[in-house]
Structure 1
Amino acid sequence: MMFMSLKDRKEISIFCCLVWFTLCVLTGCSPEKEEVHTSAGQKPIAGKSSYGEEERVLSGFQMIGEYAAKPYAIVGTNPPSSERGSGKKKAYLTFDDGPSRQTKHILRILREKGIKATFFVTGKSSPELQAYYKLIVNEGHSLGNHTYSHNYGYIYSSVKAYRKDTEKLNDLLARIAGVRPDIFRFPGGSDNHLSRKAGGRHIMAKIAREMTNIGYRYFDWNVSSTDAAAVTLPKQNILASVRSNSLGKNQIIVLMHDEDHKTTTVEALPDAIDWLKKQGYQFETLSKSSFVFQFLHPPG
C-alpha cells in the first residue's frame, strides 16, 4: 500500500482548489437564490424578486412618462380621436387584483358617491373574499377577468395556459356571482415585457388574438393612478397622477389597485372622484360596447 506524504497531499489539495475555482469562473456558479413568492402566493418568473410582478411592470411604464413612449393607439368601438375629441366626458374607474380587505372600503366610497366602477378580479379561495364577487355585481358594478392565478410565469407560458386560467376564474365567478365576464385585463397590461420571458416575443399577440376570436375584449388604461409604483404610494402622489394623466382626455380608463396594502388608494379615491366630477366626467362601467384602450392591437 502506498502512502502519500504530507507535501503530496497539500499539492493535491491546492490543485483541486484551483480546478474548482476555474470551473466557477467559467460557469458563473453562485449560491442558489431563495425562491420568492408574491403576496398572492404565486411564483414570480425566475430571476425576479421583490414583492410583486405587476408593481415592477407598471412602475416601469410610469418612469417613461406613462404611455407617451408606447407606440400603440386606441382601438375598439370608438376611433382613436375619441380620447380627445368632442362629446361627453366619461370616466371608467377600474380596480385590479381584488377582492381584498380594501374592497369593502372601495364599495362604500362608490356607494356614497353614487357611481359605478369595474373590478378586474383574480381567483380567491377564502369564502370571505369570494363573497365580494357577488356583492360587486349586486351593487351594480362590472366584473372583469384578471386571470385566476395572476402568475406571470404560468399564464404567459402559452395561449392554452392563459385561456385555461381565464376560464377557471370565470367558472368560479359563475358559481358564486352568477356571471361569466367577457371583458378582461392582462396582468401587467397587453404589452408587458415579462410575458416574453415566459412565452416568447410574440406571446401577447398570440393570446390577444385567441381571446378576441373566442369573444372576449381586453382593456388596458390611458390614465394610471401610479399606485403600483410603490407598495403604498402617498395619497397626494396618487391624486396628482390622476389629475395630470387625465388632462386633455374626454374618455379615460383609470387604473387603480384593490389589494390589502393599497390603503392610500382608498384614501385618495373620494378626492379623485370629486376632482373628476368637477372636470365634468360622468362615470360608467366597462363593457364590450364601451370605449376601449389597448396598448397592443391584436393581429387579425
Structure 2
Amino acid sequence: MKKSKAIISFCICAIMILTSFSVLGYMDDIKENNEDNKIVYLTFDDGPTENTLEILKILEEEDVKATFFVIGELANTNKEILKKVEESGNSICVHTNTHKNENYRSKEIYFKDYDAAYSKLKELLEKEPCNFMRMPGGSSTGVPSKVVLKSIRDELNNRKINYVDWNVSIEDAMGINIPVERLLCNYRKEMSKKNLDKERIVILMHDGASNSTTPKALPSIIKDLKKNGYKFKTIQDIDENEFINLTEKKLINRYNEEKEIN
C-alpha cells in the first residue's frame, strides 16, 4: 500500500513538474511572439544631403536599415549620396520634387511635381522607384484646402500609390538644428503617448540640410528601440500581411476608405 502511494505521489510530482515546464515554455513563446510583433520603421524625409551620409554611418554601425523619402531636386544634385543610400540596402521612396507649398494649390500641380520626382528617381536609380511615398506634411497636412487634399489622396489611390504616415515624430523639422536633448525629449514623449499602438512604430525624422543634430540623436533612439525589443524594417520589407496590418493601423493609406469631406 505504501509502495502504491509512493508511486502515485511520484507520478503527481512528475506531472506537476512537466506541466510547469510546459507553462514556462508557453510563456516564453508568448514573450517571443510579442517581441516578434514589435516592428519599427525609421523614416527620413527631405534628403539626400550631407546629413544623410552621417545617418548612413550610424545605421551601418547599429546594423539596421531605414527608409528615405527623398526630394527629386536634391537627389539630382547629390547623386552619389543617393547611390550610397541604395547600395547600403536602405529603401528609397518619393517625397516630392521641390517641396514647395504651392504644389498643393491643385491636384494637377501636385502630380506634376510628384511625376517629376518619380521620373528623376527612375533615371538615377535605373529602375522603377518604390511604390510607396510620403506627402509633404503627411496625408493630413493643413496646407491645401480639404477639397484639394482629398482629391490628391483619391488620385494616389486611383494610381495605386501607397502613402505613408507616422505615429511617432522627433519634431526635428520644427526649427533649424534643434538641440539633441530636445529631440530625445520629443522622442520619449511620443513613445509614452497613452494612445500609441506600440506594436508598429513609424518614426518621422529628417535628413535635410537643417537637420545636422538628427544624426547625433539617432544612436540613442536606435539603442532604446533595441532595448525594448523592436525589429527594424524598411518599406521594402512589407509583405502582404504587413501591408494589411499597417493599413488597419492607419499608418499607410489612412484615408482610402473616406466617402466624404468632414
Is contact 2:76-2:124 (8 Å) kept? Answer: no
Is contact 1:97-1:121 (8 Å) kept? Answer: yes
| Matched letter for residue 111 of structure 2 | R
What secondary structure does 1:271 align onto? helix
Aligned position for 1:114: 63
Aligned position for 1:177: 125
Runs of at least 5 residues in structure 2 that lack an aligned partner in the other structure: 1-33
* Alpha-carbon distance in 1 for matches of 2:188, 2:235: 21
Is contact 1:131-1:176 (8 Å) kept? Answer: no
Does residue 157 in structure 1 map to residue 157 in structure 2?
no
Is contact 2:39-2:230 (8 Å) kept? Answer: yes
CA spacing shift, 1:125–1:297, aligned 2, 3 Å: closer
Aligned position for 1:63: none
Aligned position for 1:237: 182
* Alpha-carbon distance in 2 for matches of 1:260, 1:268: 16
Aligned position for 1:214: 159
Is contact 1:189-1:295 (8 Å) kept? Answer: no
Aligned counterpart in structure 1 of residue 37 of structure 2, from 88, 108, 119: 88
For 1:158-195, what per-residue CA distance to the aligned partner results, in whole angstroms no more than 9, with x for missing partners?
A: 21222221111111111111242211111111111112
Bigger CA drift: 125-134 or 92-101? Answer: 125-134
* Alpha-carbon distance in 2 for matches of 1:124, 1:147: 9
| Matched letter for residue 239 of structure 1 | L
Is contact 1:225-1:241 (8 Å) kept? Answer: yes
Identify, as 1 or 2, the structure richer in helix.
2
Does residue 297 in structure 1 map to residue 255 in structure 2?
yes
Aligned position for 1:97: 46
TM-score, normalised by the number of residues in structure 1: 0.66
What secondary structure does 2:235 align onto? coil
| Divergent runs of 4+, >3 A | 125-128, 287-290
CA spacing shift, 1:126–1:205, aligned 2, 3 Å: closer
CA spacing shift, 1:245–1:125, aligned 2, 3 Å: closer
Cα deviation for residue 124 of structure 1 reads 2.4
* Alpha-carbon distance in 2 for matches of 1:273, 1:125: 26
Write the mapping of 1:1-300 to structure 2, written as runs, cut at 5 A: 88-124=37-73, 129-153=78-102, 155-178=103-126, 179-196=128-145, 201-247=146-192, 249-287=198-236, 289=239, 290=243, 291-292=246-247, 293-294=251-252, 296-298=254-256, 299=258
Count of residues paired in the alignment? 211
| Matched letter for residue 98 of structure 1 | G
What secondary structure does 2:183 align onto? helix
Is contact 1:118-1:144 (8 Å) kept? Answer: yes
Is contact 1:96-1:120 (8 Å) kept? Answer: yes
* Alpha-carbon distance in 1 for matches of 2:39, 2:135: 22
CA spacing shift, 1:286–1:127, aligned 2, 3 Å: closer
| Matched letter for residue 136 of structure 2 | P
Cα deviation for residue 107 of structure 1 reads 0.6
For 1:103-151, what per-residue CA distance to the aligned partner results, in whole angstroms no more than 9, with x for missing partners?
A: 1111111011111100000022676512222221221111111110111
Is contact 1:191-1:296 (8 Å) kept? Answer: no
Is contact 1:91-1:253 (8 Å) kept? Answer: yes
What secondary structure does 2:78 align onto? helix
Aligned identity (percent) is 34
Is contact 1:163-1:211 (8 Å) kept? Answer: no
Is contact 2:164-2:252 (8 Å) kept? Answer: yes
* Alpha-carbon distance in 2 for matches of 1:261, 1:209: 32
* Alpha-carbon distance in 2 for matches of 1:126, 1:186: 17
The RMSD of aligned alpha carbons is 2.1
What secondary structure does 1:156 align onto? helix
Is contact 1:119-1:141 (8 Å) kept? Answer: yes
Runs of at least 5 residues in structure 1 that lack an aligned partner in the other structure: 1-85
